[in-house]
Amino acid sequence: LARGIQRTAVRQAHRKYEPDFHDKYGNLVLLGGAVVFTAVWGYVFTQAGIEWGLSPVGRITPKEWRE
């Protein structure tokens, strides 16, 4: 069994290298993902009405206590 696996490995090592999907399209997919990520978060940050005052002091008021 080990000898057969070894022969197969040697055969594949000598085979001409063919580019696979990642070699052909990897950078393109990565770039596309980065563009979509940036577009979505850019929209969220500009359109979602987020207020950028990070301190809650003065904005959070306690509710009246109900018993």
pLDDT score of 12: 61
pTM: 0.46
How far apart (Å, rounded) are the C-alpha atoms in residues 51 and 48?
9
- Encoding tokens for residue 9? 């490995």
pLDDT score of 28: 96
How far apart (Å, rounded) are the C-alpha atoms in residues 48 and 53?
15
- Domain 1-48 = CATH 3.80.10.10: no
Per-domain residue ranges for the chain?
Answer: 1-48
Q: pLDDT tens, 21-62? A: 889 999 999 999 999 999 999 998 888 766 666 666 666 666
Amino acid at 63: K
Amino acid at 36: V
